[in-house]
Amino acid sequence: MLKKLAYKKIIVITLSFIFLLLIYLFPNNHSYNINTTLTYTNPKTIPIYLVDSNNLVSRFEVIQKSDDVNNLINEIINNLTINSKSTSHIPNNFKKIIPEGTKIISKELKDGLLKINFSKELLNVSMDDEEKMLEAIIYSLTEIKEVKQIMIFVDNNLLNELPNSKKILPNVLDRSFGINKIYELESMKNVAKVTTYYVSKMNNYSYFTPITTISNDKHEKVEIIIEKLKTSPTYETNLISYLSSAAKLLDYEILENSINLSFNNEVLSLDDNKIIEEVKYSIALSIRDTYNINETIFYIDNMLIDAFFI
C-alpha cells in the first residue's frame, strides 16, 4: 500500500514538473505580447545629374545614405566624381563629370546659400565638359531642399569664369544657370529662359532629361512649357514627351507656392482615363525649375484631378 502511494506521489510530481516545463518553454501568448511583424521599407533616393550616352546632363536617382545635409553634399559630389568610390551604383551608360581626384576642401551652408570650396583638380575639366560639369553640380546640389544657391570656390578662390573658355560666371549660381541649353534667339531683348523635362530611355530604364531653351518667345512661360511638351523636340530624337498634341491648356493660375493648370480631356490617358505619371512629372519638374514652384495642381475642364508635389 505504501509503495503504491509512493509511486502515485512520484508520478504526480513528475507530471507537475513536465507541466511547468511546458509552460516555461511555450508561454501563453495572452501573457506575453510578442510582436513578430516584419516591416519592409523602400530605400530613400535623391536625384543627381550625370551625363548620359547622348551627352546630355540627365536626372538619375541614387540611394540616399544620410539625412544629414553635410554628409549628403559629400555623397552627391562623390557620385559625380570620376573614379571615386561611389556610394551608389552608376549604370555604364551614364558618366561622371567632375575630374578625378577632386576633393571638397570646405563647405558652409547658411540661409540656403552653399559655399563649397574644391581642390584645384576641379579645373582639370575639358572645354567640352566644363559647362556640363557646372550644370551637374548646380542641379544635383539644389535637389537638397536646404540648398537654394551655390558659390563655388577652387583653392579658396571664387570661380568667376569657366577654366577653358573663360566664360564669365555669376558669383552666385542656381537653376537659372540652365542646363543642356538651346539658343533660339533673334535679339538680346525680351529673353525668356524655360526649362522643359523630357523622358529619355536607355535599354529598359527611363529617366528625365531637362532642356533649357533661351528664346525671344513672349508667351507666359507655362504656355511655352506645355507647347514644347506637345510637340516632338527636333534637336534630339531620343527625347520623348507623352503629352498628347491634342491637349490644350485652357487656363492657369500662378500662386506663390503652387500653380493651377486646367486642361481639356485630351490630357488624359485613353487606357485608364488618368493623367499618366510621365506627363505629370514632365510638367511638374518643368514648372519647378522655371518658376521655383513645387506644387502643380491639375484640373480637367476646371474639375480638380490631381495635386502633384515635388
* Residue range 13-40, pLDDT digits in tens: 444 544 444 444 444 444 333 333 444 4
User: CA 24, CA 80: separation in Å to the nearest integer?
Assistant: 58
Residue 7: φ, ψ to 5°: -60, -45
What pLDDT score does 85 carry? 81
E-strand ranges in the chain read 45-51, 57-63, 104-110, 113-118, 149-154, 157-158, 182-184, 192-202, 205-215, 249-254, 258-263, 295-300, 303-309
pLDDT band at 234 (very low <50, low <70, confident <90, very high): low
Does residue 110 surpass a pLDDT of 80? yes
pLDDT for res 35: 39
Q: How does residue 93 score in pLDDT terms, banded at 50, 70 and 90?
A: confident
**pLDDT confidence of residue 42:** 65
pLDDT of residue 288: 97
Alpha helices (runs of H) in the chain, residue ranges in sequence order: 2-25, 69-80, 130-141, 221-230, 277-291
Q: In this model, does residue 10 exceed pLDDT 60?
A: no
Percentage of residues in the chain with pLDDT exceeding 70?
84
Tell me the mean pLDDT in the region 143-171: 97
Res 87 pLDDT > 90: no
pLDDT at residue 204, as a whole number: 81
Long-range contact set of residues 101-109: C-beta below 8 Å, sequence gap at least 24: 102/77, 104/73, 104/74, 104/77, 105/155, 105/156, 107/70, 107/73, 109/69, 109/70, 109/73, 109/146, 109/147
Mean pLDDT of 277-294: 96
Residue 192 — very low, low, confident or very high, per pLDDT cuts 50/70/90? very high
Crossing angle, helix 130-141 and helix 69-80, to 10 degrees? 150
What are the tens digits of pLDDT across the range 41-83?
568 999 999 999 999 999 999 999 999 999 999 999 999 999 9
Q: How confident is the prediction for the chain on average, in pLDDT?
A: 87
By the 8 A CB rule, do 52 and 58 touch?
Answer: yes
* Mean pLDDT on 256-276: 91
